[in-house]
Amino acid sequence: MNYEPDETQFFRLGTTYFKGKPKQKAIFFAKIISTDLKDKLDERWQNKIVPVVVAKTALKAIISYLSEGYDFFGPEGYGVVIMKSGKGTDTEYNVMPSPQPIPLDLKDYDTPEMNLDEYAELLTQNSMKRSEKLGEGGGTEEGDW
């Protein structure tokens, strides 16, 4: 698997379904540092590079920071903090660069077995299946990818 930094190819788009309507989501690989400031990081996220699915609004914010010169891809690059609040159509994302650089040496982490294109296809297929099964109430869940 090629994990070389490439700012033009760091994400792929997949489709999810919310209340029967398709929504495009961005998928990229990341090192998860924290999922909740109060809890210890779940073991399934520790020492791993994992696929992350975010709304296009969060992706647009990341791209905006890249255009301002933030380095998210270098070994000493900055991380991205994404805070999600709300649910459904009331979901909001607050995206900002980490205050300090976050060193990342890929040899120290388990990496995904599939590439971004495969995760995007899997997300789309599984979300569509659940949407058809649940009808109008379908949404995206971790199991979609």
The tens digit of pLDDT for each residue in 10-22 reads 899 999 887 778 8
Residue 138 lies in a domain: no
The per-residue pLDDT for range 26-51, each reduced to its tens digit, is 998 888 776 665 566 677 777 788 88
76 in a domain, yes or no? Answer: yes
User: Domain range spanning residue 90?
Assistant: 12-126
pTM over 0.85: no
Give the span between the Cα atoms of 1 and 13, in whole angstroms.
Answer: 19
> Has residue 145 been placed in a domain?
no
| Number of domains the chain is built from | 1
Strand partners, 31: 49
* SS3 track for 46-100: CCEEEEEEEEHHHHHHHHHHHHCCCCCCCCCCEEEEEEEECCHHHCEEEEEEEEE
Residue 116 lies in a domain: yes
Higher-pLDDT residue of 132, 52? 52
135 inside domain: no
Task: Note whether residue 111 is domain-resident.
Answer: yes
Question: What tens digit of pLDDT does each residue of 96-138 get?
Answer: 998 888 777 778 888 888 889 999 999 999 888 887 777 654 5
